[in-house]
Amino acid sequence: MAIAAAAALAACGSSFDFSQSCTMNVSVNGAAPAAVDCFAAGATTSGMNAVSIAMNGSPPGVSAAQFAMTLPSAPSTGTYGAGNVTTAAAQVQTTSGGIYSQTNVGSLGTFSVVLTSVSSASANGGTAYFLHGSATVTLMGQSGAPGTATITATF
């Protein structure tokens, strides 16, 4: 609902920058990165503040790639890492069934998110955040999946 309200505000000439261009590169076990479009956004609802980045397409060899973090307060410009988020988790799944994971609970893998611009719109008790910045996530192979996977995104 908040996203629909944000789109309506943009259509009415709001001064916020709601443009969204997101490119994600996914590399598994040292292979050349596969580029894919993605979507990055943030939201605050029912007291929870979250940012997520997810692929929107099908690069060769990758069936899913996503990252999310919850924050102690609304998203704002700055650098986010394991020390200043509530939770963070990412997963890459390959078309051959390999699973790669990152989480700040148990210190599995690493991540850094830099937000350079944050615009917001509110409706019905929630707030949508339109984000610009970059993210780098290193994920560890699980259940026999070899090596690591890396997500880099610019949004």
For the segment 4-22, what is each residue's pLDDT rounded down to a tens digit?
Answer: 333 433 433 444 444 578 9
pLDDT tens, 88-123?
999 999 999 999 999 998 789 999 999 999 999 999
Reading the block at residue 87, the tokens are 């939770």
pLDDT tier at 147 (50, 70, 90 boundaries)? very high
Structural domains of the chain, count = 1
Q: Which helix (H) or strand (E) holds 51?
A: strand 48-55
Domain membership of residue 52 as a residue range: 2-154
Query: SS3 of 125, please?
Result: coil
C-alpha torsion 70→76→78→83, nearest 10: -30
